Amino acid sequence: MKKIALLAIIAFTALSTSALAQKSNKKSMKKVLFVVTSNDKLGNTGEKTGFWSEEFAAPYYELLDQGVEITIASPLGGQPPIDPKSADPSSATEDTKRFDADKVLQEKLKHTLKLSSVNQKDYDAVFYPGGHGPLWDLVEDRNSIALIEAFYTHKKPVAFVCHAPAVLKNVKVDGQYLVKGKKITGFTNEEEEAVGLTKVVPFLLEDALASNGGIFSKGPNWAPYAVEDGLLITGQNPASSKLVAGKLLQKLK
């Protein structure tokens, strides 16, 4: 009888230890909020836009594979638009192929949270993938502006790639533009000219951030390039997505 009781105690202790370990692991798991555009109109061209799939997929899997929990939000909630050009087979990468085949993620994207419902206190960092879509909604979105400010003032990393740094255009901290005096990069004037959209976009990202006091730097067109300045991480173009994710991972450790 004593032996049975002892075994029962050992089993209970093991279960309790396992439950506590799982609870501890869940508590220690880093959480990152991804914010994507809800805009699918490329200005007045009649063409479609949205977020660029590689700029979403590469960082998503880079973080996910390291045990980071990811939540996705957008201004309108629900299914965000994907730039059709980024879904073209000629733009495919291993990450976008994985993205296309990932039924769990595709279902998750159908149910993005409404941006107005999220709070920085629930996450350890925020990441914005680009695409031209954000230029028309997230740049002016009050919830996005307030969210970035909240992450930054609570000493949490804020990361952006390609056109996404444009959403910093109206973000201020203590009355000053967040980018003022900060090293920053993003989709360059030359790259915008190369894709023929200089006259379509509402403003040129490079000019706008430099005008707000950002110390803008860049690498060769289409080459991976990312810069980090304290909590602020930015990447130049789609090829820079993994660089940004890697820098963000280092910040989270």
- Does 253 have pLDDT greater than 60? yes
Give strand pairing partners of 233: 159, 228
Say yes or no: domain 31-252 is CATH 3.20.20.140.
Answer: no
Torsion angle, alpha carbons of 86, 92, 98, 99, to 10:
0
Q: Residue 161: which H helix or E strand, with range?
A: strand 158-161
Tokens of 3: 């032996």
Report the pLDDT value the prediction gives residue 188, as an integer from 0 to 100: 98
pLDDT in tens, 13-54: 444 444 444 444 445 799 999 999 999 999 999 999 999 999
pLDDT above 70 for 215: yes
Note the residue count of the chain: 253
Side-chain half-sphere exposure of 160, counting CA atoms within 13 A = 28
- Give pLDDT, residue 22: 45
User: Is the model's pLDDT at 116 over the cut of 70?
Assistant: yes
Residue 12 confidence (pLDDT) above 80: no
Mean pLDDT computed over 234-253: 97
CB-CB neighbours of 1 under 10 Å: 5
**Structural contact between residues 234 and 159, judged by C-beta atoms closer than 8 angstroms:** yes
- Whole-number Cα distances in Å, 24 to 13, 17, 122: 16, 10, 16
Cβ neighbours of 194 (radius 10 Å): 12
Q: What is the mean pLDDT of the chain?
A: 92
What's the mean pLDDT in 90-117? 96
- Whether the per-residue pLDDT at 238 is higher than 80: the answer is yes
pLDDT digits (tens, 9 = 90+) for 60-80: 999 999 999 999 999 999 999
The pLDDT assigned to 24 comes to 42
- 33 — phi, psi (to 5°)? -95, 125
CB-based contacts of 176, cutoff 8 Å, min separation 6: 213
Which of these, 227, 209, 231, 213, lies nearest to 152 by C-alpha position? 231
Could you read off the pLDDT of 141-167 as tens digits, one per residue? 999 999 999 999 999 999 999 999 999
Pairing mode of beta strands 226-229, 232-235: antiparallel
CA distance 65 to 219: 28
Residue 28 confidence (pLDDT)? 77
Domain ranges of the chain: 31-252
b/e 128-158 (16+ beta carbons within 10 angstroms → b): bbbbbbbbbbbbebebbbebbbebbeeebbb
Q: For the chain, give the percent of residues with pLDDT over 90.
A: 87
Q: Confidence band (pLDDT; 50, 70, 90) for 114?
A: very high
pLDDT value of residue 7? 47
Query: Given this model, what pLDDT does residue 90 score?
Result: 87
